[in-house]
Amino acid sequence: QSVLTQPASVSGSPGQSITISCTGTDSDIAHYRFVSWYQQHPDTAPKLLLYEVSHRPSGVSDRFSGSKSGNTASLTISGLQAEDEADYYCASYTKTPLSTLILGGGTKVTVL
Amino acid sequence: QVHLVQSGAEMKPPGASVKVSCKASGYTFTGYFIHWVRQAPGQGLEWMGWINPKTGGTNSAQKFQGRVTVTKDTSINTVYMEIKRLASDDTAIYYCARELPTTPNSLDSWGQGTLVTVSS
């Protein structure tokens, strides 16, 4: 059972923008800035897209952006491309009492 | 260049144990936590736990405590994850991943994954 709630699927046409939400609680997303997002194509390992809510690792397109408000984080993909079709997972830091990672259930992005 | 190379696929009967390795290269092994994340067929990612390769300190998700052990061998830059008392729902791809040093739980490099199949 996932602790962070994501929509099961989101779709969009090429060139459009889409947003994936990730809802947590006051103990995780609302309390810490350590929210990350991962992209996973079929049969490959996940790839870090964003960390600390909105920071992109080197090599990640600036079409991917992140934000947070209260207990909800969001990933926006601008200028949707066919290669963006993948599964996306959010993750948040929490302490229970040690550092713990909690994950969302994943969102399937379909490019129409 | 950072590389995490995992051991090969395993098939085990129910009740057995399995130990998966993750060999790191291209960076200072003791400077970065290593996490384990698994993915059952057709399912999402599930966090299992982490190890601090410098101290050997660990933490794991509550559901795995007492059944999963994460260890390290600093001499060969390798982390191990052992699961005891395997059941069919442990069938999954198991990934190791490196944590960014100043950003808890942000995993910037991943191993290729190890398929563990539990079947009689």
Q: Where are the alpha helices (DSSP H) in B3-117?
A: none
For the record, the structure tokens of B48 come out as: 């299992």
Residue numbers in B near A87 (CB within 8 A): 44
Report the chain B residue with the minimal C-alpha distance to residue A44. B112
CA A88, chain centre distance (Å): 6
- Residues of A in CB contact (< 8 Å) with B are 2, 34, 36, 38, 40, 45-48, 51-52, 57, 87, 89, 91-93, 96, 98-106
Please report which confidence band the pLDDT of residue A2 belongs to, taking 50, 70 and 90 as the band edges: low
Q: For residues A103 and A2, is the Cβ–Cβ distance under 8 A?
A: yes
Q: What pLDDT, on a 0 to 100 scale, did the predictor assign at position B102?
A: 84
Q: Where are the alpha helices (DSSP H) in chain A?
A: none
SS3 content of chain A, % helix, strand, coil (to 5): 5, 50, 45
Q: What pLDDT, on a 0 to 100 scale, did the predictor assign at position A1?
A: 47
Q: What pLDDT, on a 0 to 100 scale, did the predictor assign at position B110?
A: 98
Q: What pLDDT, on a 0 to 100 scale, did the predictor assign at position B96?
A: 98
Q: What pLDDT, on a 0 to 100 scale, did the predictor assign at position B48?
A: 96
Query: Hey, are the CB atoms on B44 and A57 less than 8 Å from each other?
Result: no
Please report which confidence band the pLDDT of residue A27 belongs to, taking 50, 70 and 90 as the band edges: confident
The fraction of chain B above a pLDDT of 70, given in percent, is 100
Q: What pLDDT, on a 0 to 100 scale, did the predictor assign at position A29?
A: 92
What is the identity of the amino acid at B12? K
Q: What pLDDT, on a 0 to 100 scale, did the predictor assign at position A11?
A: 97
Shortest CA gap B104–chain A (Å): 7
DSSP A101: E
- Residue A5, pLDDT above cutoff 90: yes
Question: Which residues have CB under 8 Å from B13's CB, separation 6+?
Answer: B86, B118, B119, B120
Antiparallel, parallel or unpaired: β B92-99 and A47-50: unpaired
Query: Hey, are the CB atoms on A98 and B59 less than 8 Å from each other?
Result: yes
Shortest CA gap B69–chain A (Å): 16
**pLDDT tens per residue across span A45-104:** 999 999 999 999 999 999 999 999 999 999 999 999 999 999 999 999 988 777 889 999
Please report which confidence band the pLDDT of residue A14 belongs to, taking 50, 70 and 90 as the band edges: very high
Of the two residues A18 and B103, the one the predictor is more confident about is A18
**pLDDT tens per residue across span B50-107:** 999 999 999 999 999 999 999 999 999 999 999 999 999 999 999 999 999 888 889 9
Map residue B13 onto helix, strand or coil: coil
The fraction of chain B above a pLDDT of 90, given in percent, is 94
